[in-house]
Amino acid sequence: MKLSDASDRFLTYLAVERGLAASTLEAYGRDLAVLVELLADPDIAEVSPSRLRAYIQQLEKRGQAARTRARALSAVSQLLAFLRAEKLLDHDPLADITRPRQGRRIPKVLSQQEVEALLHAPDESPLGMRDRAILEVLYAAGLRVSELVHMTLSNLHLETHSCKVEGKGRRERLAFLGVPAVEHLRRYLEEVRPRWVDDDGRGRVFVSSRNPGLSRQAVWYRIQYYAKQIGIARKLTPHVLRHSFATHLLEGGADLRVVQEMLGHADIGTTEIYTHVSRKRLHELVDGRHPRGAT
């Protein structure tokens, strides 16, 4: 079997069996297409350690950062593991190859004061009421934007301040909402949503005046709009609110395992990055406010 055919078979497995998002599949596809190109599409039995070392060197010559090379090698590693599981390969050509080392990227977060300003930025118009509900839910539950836009009314339980969401890998979890988020959600659902759509309460929670659904891009645009209104010049995405949710929980004394569960992380190692953010912010606070600090 040619490497290109094996790659196609692996991508089909990721889509059908594991249910990965389209954007994730595209990223895998791009990385594996480069692998096929640089190795000149050999038979999979000919994918040797020496060829993979040459592949890594070619990525370096293209000027790819260590983080990008590590991601590409992760895709290759998963492809090879799939081929071994399918009995199409009897060894791991990557076993003795040193992977590129990558630093952990610290996520950007907002201060609690910036979050408060952002939450109060929308006005009292129907659009503003919907946007306030969106901001409150993103921050209160730490949702991914894809989880927010696909949230349905049938999975929303305001009486218990909770909602069921589907995260990565189609893993479902229960997300919890604070009192402000529930209040603004209820107001939007009672005063705004019925004006825009008539679906007998079966559709998505968040809609627009012209559409029974809302795109991720639309949410991103609205957050950027309010960020500029309150004077935040740096790039602000829905994921920054998720990062801020996790960081503020840890700063408030929440257990790391609890934060992992609330974020829907399969691996606690993914959640641990927020402990670094929390420590960094504490150091900044000491340096800026303590009489024996740096300033």
Q: What is the pLDDT of residue 125?
A: 96
Sheet holding 156-157, edge to edge: 156-157, 162-166, 172-176
71, 161, 164, 239: which is the annotated catalytic residue? 239
The Cβ of residue 85 has, within 10 Å, a number of other Cβ atoms equal to 10
Q: What is the pLDDT of residue 285?
A: 45
pTM of the model: 0.62
Measured between alpha carbons, how far is residue 118 from residues 26, 130, 211, 217, 238 in Å? 33, 14, 25, 18, 12
Highest mean pLDDT among 50-59, 110-119, 251-260: 110-119
Per DSSP, the residues of 96-136 read: TPPPPP-PPPPPP---HHHHHHHHT-S-SSHHHHHHHHHHH
Q: What is the pLDDT of residue 286?
A: 44
Give the integer Cα–Cα distance in Å for 48 and 199. 57
Is residue 194 pLDDT above 90, yes or no?
yes
Token digits of residue 281: 């912010």
69, 144, 204, 248: which is the annotated catalytic residue? 144
Is 87 labeled as catalytic in the residue annotation?
Answer: no
Is 274 labeled as catalytic in the residue annotation?
Answer: yes
For residue 69, what pLDDT band results from cuts at 50, 70 and 90?
Answer: confident
Q: What is the pLDDT of residue 252?
A: 82
Is 168 labeled as catalytic in the residue annotation?
Answer: yes
222, 242, 243, 248: which is the annotated catalytic residue? 242
Is 221 labeled as catalytic in the residue annotation?
Answer: no
53, 168, 173, 187: which is the annotated catalytic residue? 168
Give the residue-averaged pLDDT of 190-195: 94
Token digits of residue 17: 């069996």
Nearest to 196 by CA among 182, 187, 214, 209: 209
Is residue 174 pLDDT above 70, yes or no?
yes
Lowest mean pLDDT across 99-108, 131-140, 267-276: 99-108
Contact 293, 127 (CB under 8 A): no
Highest mean pLDDT among 209-213, 219-223, 269-273: 219-223
Is 228 labeled as catalytic in the residue annotation?
Answer: no
Please give the domain boundaries of the chain with CATH numbers for all domains.
3-85 (1.10.150), 112-289 (1.10.443.10)
3-state helix, strand, coil in the chain (%, to 5): 60, 5, 35
67, 108, 164, 265: which is the annotated catalytic residue? 265
Higher pLDDT, 133 or 101: 133
